[in-house]
Structure 1
Amino acid sequence: MKSQFMTYVREQMHTSRYARKTIEAYTLWMRNFIIFHKMQHPKNLSEKHVEAFLTHLANEKLVSANTQSLALNALNFLYKDILKKPLALNMKFRRSNIKRKLPVVLTKAEIRPLLQQIPPRYQLQAQLLYGSGLRLMECIRLRVHDIDYHYGAIRI
């Protein structure tokens, strides 16, 4: 069962025209924050609680710096835009020093058997994802007018 508070947060983010994936990510981190503090309402929690949660992510969960920043941005939105109690800029929490893992790139010989397993309807999209480095949503939203035939390029 979804809480009325989280439903309200989702509605506010939707009204503010946040992307669906951003809404999902932010509400996930807000939920994790609430669970971490034993289901206390965020209006009853202070910046010290935010600092404790972010430090927990770095020390115990060993999240990357980008993930910790995402959690901070979600909580900043929660306190600034929803609860109207902006967080201080000088919060003291342990910053994660775990670097982002670079993806392993498959060679042409390694990717060929994988692409052959994909149904023909989706092969071109898969080839574009592999060959051009497009993100999934960029590929899904690609239209004919995005292709520049003169330069042999795709405009995103």
Structure 2
Amino acid sequence: MDMHNKFRPNPDLKLIEKVREVMRYHHYQYRTEQTYCDWITRYIKFHGCQKHPREIGKLEIESFLSHLAPERKVSASTQRQAFNAIVFLYIKILDLPVAEDIGHVRAKRQSRPPVVLTKYEVQQVFSWMKGDHLLMAKIFTGVDSG
């Protein structure tokens, strides 16, 4: 993208207000705006607010993201959302490159095996049901459908 055509937020605004202005310019959803601002605020507070994000870089990003997985026990998608918010901050607001080789402790995706009821358990559930609900449940599960 040509640097002359890039939208630049009002320099008199505070950092989070700049984030909001750029997100609104690019028509991000309001909920995305709230979430990104929250992650950016957490990122800044995590590093003690002594330094501006412009003065911190790859190591601080890695330490924040690594902190989320084992200590805060966030999911992989939540950690990725935090990463995207920080990348947005550096690229769109601060106009700084972000290292592509950020290595952090990644949250593990949990496998969730499907819950399957035994025939006996299905019969138990049906014994508690009556009328239309019982009929719908039997049709849905294929019991007594011929």
Instruction: Tell me, yes or no, whether TM beats 0.5.
Output: yes
Residue 101 (structure 1) shift: 7.3
Unpaired stretches in structure 2, ≥5 consecutive residues? 1-12, 116-124, 130-146
| Bigger CA radius of gyration | 2
1:20-44, CA deviations, whole angstroms, 9 ceiling, x for partnerless residues? 0110010000000001000132111
- Cα 1:35–1:100 shift into 2, 3 Å: farther
1:38 equivalent in structure 2: 48
Residue 62 (structure 1) shift: 0.7
C-alpha distance in 1 between matches for 2:110 and 2:53: 30
1:72 aligns with 2:83: yes
Match of 2:37 among 19, 27, 38: 27
Residue 99 (structure 1) shift: 2.7
1:147 equivalent in structure 2: none
1:56 equivalent in structure 2: 67
Q: Paired residues, what number? A: 104
**Superposition TM-score, scaled by structure 1 size:** 0.61
- More helix by proportion, 1 or 2? 1
- The answer as to whether partners of 1:66 and 1:100 remain within 8 angstroms in 2 is no
Identity of aligned residues (%): 36
1:47 equivalent in structure 2: 58
C-alpha distance in 2 between matches for 1:99 and 1:13: 32
> Which letter maps to 1:50?
I
1:16 aligns with 2:26: yes
C-alpha distance in 1 between matches for 2:22 and 2:86: 14
C-alpha distance in 2 between matches for 1:10 and 1:100: 36
- The answer as to whether partners of 1:62 and 1:98 remain within 8 angstroms in 2 is no
> Which letter maps to 1:29?
W
Runs of 4+, deviation exceeding 4 Å: none
- Cα 1:6–1:101 shift into 2, 3 Å: farther
C-alpha distance in 1 between matches for 2:112 and 2:25: 34
Q: CA RMSD in A?
A: 2.5
> Which letter maps to 2:33?
I
> Which letter maps to 2:58?
E
**Superposition TM-score, scaled by structure 2 size:** 0.65
Q: Secondary structure at the match of 1:59?
A: coil
